Amino acid sequence: IAVAQKLLICGLSLLFHMTITKTLPVEYNIDDNFRATASWPVRFFYLYVSLMAARPKYYFAWTLADAINNAAGFGFRGYDKNGVTHWDLISNLRIQQIEFSTSFKMFLDNWNIQTALWLKRVCYERATFSPTIQTFILSAIWHGVYPGYYLTFLTGVLMTLAARAIRNNIRHYFVESPAVKLCYDIITWMATQVAISYTVVPFVLLSVKPSFTFYSSCYFCLHIASILVLLVFPLKRTQSKKHESIQPVWSKKLEEEENLLQKNSYSTTNNSFSQQQEITCRYQALKQ
């Protein structure tokens, strides 16, 4: 069933890419006539729909790979409380969470999941300073040499830090009332989708000139807004504390493992001694 469902998603993604995507080219965002005549709301709306239309090709490729893995017996995560099987252990994306992300982090956590986990393990959790910046730079290098990749990931650093600062400083004011939280979620969904689209334009355009044409036509508005957010809102240093505590945690784990080994060694020696005593007693009883 999991394979059939994923193949259906592949078919729909491919159909969408072959039809709708071609009518909404990302390059139209830098068209001179469009930039000159379209209003800001229209431009940002087209920015969102054109980048959304660019995603199905990734949905197709990653979901097809996931379906092949499942058909080969890989990716089984287990059963839920209702006994339903889950075959998403090595899935690379979660489409619903991507399209309805209400934060930059939520989007990134559900996009190219396995690569993100690898980057987290090899870079983010090991970095002793600026883990977010180091991880984005490594991700850009991993993707390749096109300048657009580096523009996207450098912009992504600003967006991620600004989004984190906003979330840490104001979100708790909007979670008490369900109605207020719903409004907050709608606003953050819109902001996230626009921010993601704005960030990844160079990733699609690849070259420096068209990328700067797009950003300059927007007056680098979200870059400036992100910098202002970081100046106004304090960025909580939770990650620094986490990284400072890594060494003690590892030391504690090593100490626990060493104690366990010593305990096992003692138990093994004690058991051997007890067995030897029992054999001696039986031998003496037989002699008598």
What is residue 269's predicted lDDT score, i.e. its pLDDT? Answer: 46
Annotated catalytic residue within 82, 112, 172, 264: 112
Q: Is the entire prediction scored with pTM above 0.85?
A: no
Q: Who has greater pLDDT, 284 or 125?
A: 125
Find residue 86's DSSP bridge partners. 78
Looking at residues 15-26, what average pLDDT do you find? Answer: 92
Taking 90 as the threshold, does the pLDDT of residue 213 lie above it? Answer: yes
Give CA–CA dist 222/191, Å, rounded. Answer: 10
Annotated catalytic residue within 17, 82, 110, 143: 143
Give CA–CA dist 212/209, Å, rounded. Answer: 5
Q: 92: which 2 tokens?
A: 């690379």
Taking 50 as the threshold, does the pLDDT of residue 82 lie above it? Answer: yes
Taking 90 as the threshold, does the pLDDT of residue 280 lie above it? Answer: no
Percent of the chain whose pLDDT exceeds 70: 82
Catalytic annotation present for 112: yes
Find residue 79's DSSP bridge partners. 85
Q: With CA atoms as reference, report the closest residue to 44 among 198, 175, 177, 241.
A: 198
Give CA–CA dist 158/228, Å, rounded. Answer: 10
What is residue 94's predicted lDDT score, i.e. its pLDDT? Answer: 93
Catalytic annotation present for 110: no
Assign 267 a pLDDT band (cuts: 50, 70, 90).
Answer: very low
